[in-house]
Amino acid sequence: MPKLNENFIKLNENYLFSEIAQRVNTYTAANPDKKVIRLGIGDVTLPLGPAVITSLHEGVDALADAKTFKGYGPDFGYAFLRSAIVSYYQHNGASIDIDEVFVSDGAKSDTGNITDLFGADNAILIPDPVYPVYVDTNIMSGRTITYLDANEENNFLPMPDHNVHADIIYLCSPNNPTGAAYNKEQLKAWVDYALTNDAVILYDSAYECFITDETLPRSIYAISGAKRCAIEFCSLSKTAGFTGTRCGYTIVPKELNFASSTGVALSLNAMWRRRQSTKFNGVSYIVQKGAAAVFSAEGMAQCRETIKYYQINAGIIADTLARKNMTYFGGVNSPYIWFKCPNQMDSWSFFDYLLNNAQIVGTPGAGFGRNGQNYFRLTSFGSRENTIQAMERLETLL
C-alpha cells in the first residue's frame, strides 16, 4: 500500500474558487431566469491583442513546414523571448541577465514549484491575506508557516519585524487580494531585512502592469541589493490576457547563493535550472511566439489599452463604494478592489447575500486568509456593461 502525503489532509477541503463555483452553480440551477454577473475570479475577459494573434499564427505556420518545424524547445525558453524579457526589465529600471530568465507556463506553477528548492525546516513568512497558492503549496510539503498580518492598521502592507526570524518570505505587490502595493522605501526595508537575516524573498509581481503610480517599483530588482536575496515571479496572464494561453517567467539571479548544511555555497539559479530541466519540458513554441509579441512596441501599446479598459472598470467600482461611504483599498495600482463587508457580515455571508439579492459574484476575503474574514474582493476584469450593471445593483442594495 502506498504511504500517502498526509499533509494534504491539512489543506482546506475545497480550493476557494471551486467552493465559489459550487455555490454559484447551486444558485443558477435554482434561479435559471436570473442574470448572474461574475466579478469574482481574477480572470480576464478581453481578447488577446492583434500583435499577439499575428505572432501566434506565425508560430502555427512555422510548425507546418519541415524547414521551420520545432520539436522540443529549450527548457528555459527560446532566446528570442528571454531577451525580450531582459529588455522589458531594463525599461522597468532593473537589470537582469538572460541566464536569469526562466520562461514557464505561468506564475502559479512556478510559485508552487519553487518549494522544491528548499528544505522542510525553514521559517516561512507569508502575508495574510494573500494569493492562496503560497500557503497551500507549503502545507502540501509539510512546512510550518508564520503569517504576517496585513490589515487596515498597516494599509495591508506588512513590514518586517526584526525580532522575528525568517528564512523564506513571500511578498506579492501589487497584492492579490488587497490591491496594496509597496513603495520603494518599504520594499527596501524588506530587502535589507532579507540581507541581514540571510533570507530569500519570493516576490510575486503578477500585477506589476497595473501600476500607474510611476514612483512605485514594478520589480523588486529596482531595489539595490535585491539580486542577492530575491526571486521574482511574473506572468503574462494579466499583462497580456494570457490566462488561458499560459505563459509566465521567473527571474532567479546568479548572485543568489546560500550555504548548504556542510558550508558549500549553492546557487539557486543552478538549482532551479536543474529542477526545471528535470521536471519541465518548456512552453510551446507557438505560445512563446505570441508572448514575444507582447514585448514589441506595438504589442505593449495594445496591452496598455486593454489594461486601461480594466482600470476604468476599477474606477467605476471604486466610485460606487465611495458614494456608499464604504472604505475600500486597491483599484488604483491593481485590478482588485478590497473592502470591508457591511453590517459586520462575515465574507461568506456577504457572498451569499450579494449572490441572492443582486446576483453579483465576488470573492470572500476569508478565502485569502484569517485577516480577510470580514472583507470582500471585486475584480475589474468584467466587461464594461457588466461592471456598470453590477454597480447599479450594488448601489440599490447597500
Name beta bridge partners: 125: 146, 169
Cβ proximity to ligand PLP: between 89 and 249 the closer is: 249
Cα 108 to Cα 113: distance, rounded to the nearest angstrom: 8
Interface stretch with ligand PLP, choices 104-112, 155-163, 273-281, 302-310 (CB under 6 A)? 104-112
218 binds ligand PLP (CB under 6 A): no
The least distance separating ligand PLP from the CB of residue 234, rounded to whole angstroms, comes to: 8
Q: Count other Cβ atoms within 10 Å, centred on residue 315.
A: 15
Q: Work out whether 128 is an interface residue with ligand PLP (CB under 6 A).
A: no
Indicate the residue among 340 and 377 with the shorter CB distance to ligand PLP: 377
Q: CA-to-CA distance for 206 and 46, rounded, in angstroms?
A: 18
Q: What angle do CA 363, 369, 373 make, to 5 degrees?
A: 65
Q: Which residue is nearest to ligand PLP (CB)?
A: 106
Is 296 near ligand PLP (CB under 6 A)? no
- Facing residues of 259 across strands? 265
Please choose, out of 17-25, 82-90, 107-115, 119-127, the segment that lies near ligand PLP by the rule CB under 6 A. 107-115
**Within a 10 A sphere around the Cβ of 234, how many other Cβ atoms?**
28
Which of 89, 102, 118, 131 is in the footprint of ligand PLP by CB under 6 A? 131
Question: What are the backbone angles phi and psi of residue 332, rounded to the nearest 5°?
Answer: -105, -60
SS3 92: coil
Residues in the chain: 398
Nearer to ligand PLP, 204 or 358 (CB): 204
x/- site string to ligand PLP, residues 51 to 90, per CB under 6 A? ----------------------------------------
Site for ligand PLP in 168-207 (CB under 6 A): 172, 176, 204, 206
Cβ distance to ligand PLP smaller for residue 329 or 359:
329
CB of 265 to ligand PLP, least distance (A): 30
Q: How far apart, in whole angstroms, are the C-alpha atoms of residue 338 and residue 363?
A: 10
78-81-86-89 Cα dihedral, nearest 10 degrees: -140
Burial class for 301, CB neighbours closer than 10 Å (0-12, 13-18, 19+): exposed
Window 355-394: contact mask with ligand PLP (x via CB under 6 A):
----------------------------------------
Check binding of 235 to ligand PLP (CB under 6 A): yes
From candidates 115, 138, 237, 313, binder to ligand PLP by CB under 6 A: 237
- Smallest gap from Cβ 274 to ligand PLP, in A, equals 22
Q: Choose the stretch contacting ligand PLP; rule: CB under 6 A; options: 4-12, 81-89, 106-114, 209-217.
A: 106-114
Shortest Cβ 335–ligand PLP spacing (Å)? 9
Residue type, 62: A
What residues contact 354, with CB distance under 8 A and at least 6 apart? 360, 361, 362, 376, 394, 397
Torsion angles phi and psi, residue 94, rounded to 5: -135, 145
CB of 124 closer than 8 Å to CB of 166: yes
Return the residue of 248, 290, 299, 365 that touches ligand PLP, per CB under 6 A: 248
Interatomic CA distance for residues 137 and 114, integer angstroms: 9
**Segment contacting ligand PLP (CB under 6 A): 18-26, 103-111, 278-286, 374-382?**
103-111
CB of 31 to ligand PLP, least distance (A): 28
- Residue 243 lies near ligand PLP (rule: CB under 6 A): yes
Q: Is 65 exposed, middle or buried (0-12, 13-18, 19+ CB in 10 A)?
A: exposed
Among 40, 49, 106, 382, binds ligand PLP (CB under 6 A): 106
- Is there a contact between 207 and 335 (Cβ–Cβ < 8 Å)? yes
The only residue of 20, 38, 40, 42 in contact with ligand PLP, by rule CB under 6 A: 42
240 binds ligand PLP (CB under 6 A): no
CA distance 329 to 336: 8
Cell numbers for 154, please give them.
498597516
Contact residues for ligand PLP, defined by CB under 6 A = 42, 106-108, 111, 131, 172, 176, 204, 206, 235, 237, 243, 248
